[in-house]
Chains A and B, each alone.
Chain A
Amino acid sequence: MCTYHTEHLELRDSSGKGADGWFTLREASVYYDHPVHAPAEHTVNVDFLNRSLGPSARVAVELDPGSARELARALLEAADLAASHSGQGH
């Protein structure tokens, strides 16, 4: 199925490396849909974007749902650690 479900996040002070090197990331689209490349019918997909730089300013990942959960857990742990080191809250 095509779920069309998409969450958009604004990103701050973030960068990604795309086909033309590093660039500033402004937003992320997170959705569950058919992948372009991953060998599965559906994947959890994330597009990191900077639309002001054009459509090619994109870092894309297509994740197996289990892998996406593990990644989310690792991201939360790392973000908690970063917050404790810098003294910042969530």
Chain B
Amino acid sequence: MVGCMSHDMPGDLEAQTITIKGHGGDEIEAYLAEPRGSGPYGGVVVIHHMPGYDRSTKEITRRFAAMGYVALMPNLYHREAPGAAPDDAAATARAQGGVPDERLVGDVAGAMAHLKSFPKCNGKVGTVGYCSGGRQSFLSAVSLQLDAAVACYPGGVVHGAPPGSPLSFAPLIGRSKDLSCPLLGLFGEEDKFPSQEEVATLDKELTSHGKDHEFHSYPGAGHAFFDVDRPSYRVEAALDGWKQVTAFFGRHLGS
């Protein structure tokens, strides 16, 4: 017979799909993962990458819960494609020009409010995002009062969307002075979006405003080095990246 252990063993978690109120009071789908203990725990809003609200970003959300955070990932494409397969939803969102910045901020604000209402949440909330979600994590941190933000290979912060793009990615570097919290940036040296020149420009701008930030660029890694099921995965960069995220959120979101 297998016995049932206490509910606060490290790594024990519960995960489910819920409905939250996003931008404009819209009801949107979100994926919630929480440790089974009583807390208190910090909160993490996970901002998915451009390929969507998919299996790999749900795995990341569960990983944050296993690390001791209440993690919530809003489905940023819910309005365009409710109930659709993640790749179909991402294609629809791309065809429509992507997620408007104002709506993204509203959805992250809704996720934050949901996390802060949790009795087991300690009231501190950070964001983490990948790819376009990295830019959106930075956007959230210059638009909302956060406790920490992680941006993984965020393209478009310095120069906006590249020429020919139908997506409305405005440059955000001019808003660096509004950064509300410490920022951790993780980059691949071989990435072209963002390039190392853009990383250096953002670093300089944040320093000029006295903003608390910490950047790591990994040699031999390009874009999407955290993606374990893509050829872009780079084990050394991903392992150190997770180590940096763990330490960073531990310092700023811990109880």
Contacts and interface: CB of A to CB of B under 8 A. Distances in A.
B124 interface: no
A1 B191 CA distance: 6
A51 B95 CA distance: 9
B167 A47 contact: no
Interface string A47-80: 1010100111010100000000000000000000
A36 interface: yes
Interface in A25-47: 27, 29, 31, 33-34, 36, 39-41, 47
Nearest to A4: B165
Interface in A1-31: 1-8, 27, 29, 31
Contacts, number: 85
Contacts of A5: 162, 164-165
Contacts of A41: 222, 224, 230-232
Interface stretch (B40-48, B83-91, B175-183, B201-209): B83-91
A60 B87 contact: yes
Contacts of A34: 51, 223-224, 230, 232
Interface of B: 50-51, 80-81, 84-85, 87-89, 91-92, 94-95, 98, 131-132, 155-156, 161-162, 164-167, 169, 191-193, 222-224, 230-232
Given A34-B51, A56-B85, 18 more contacts: A1-B222, A2-B131, A3-B193, A4-B132, A6-B167, A34-B224, A36-B87, A39-B231, A41-B222, A41-B224, A51-B92, A51-B95, A55-B80, A55-B84, A55-B85, A55-B89, A55-B91, A58-B88
Interface of A: 1-8, 27, 29, 31, 33-34, 36, 39-41, 47, 49, 51, 54-56, 58, 60
14 contacts: A1-B223, A2-B132, A2-B193, A2-B224, A4-B132, A4-B156, A6-B166, A8-B166, A34-B223, A39-B231, A49-B95, A55-B85, A56-B84, A60-B87
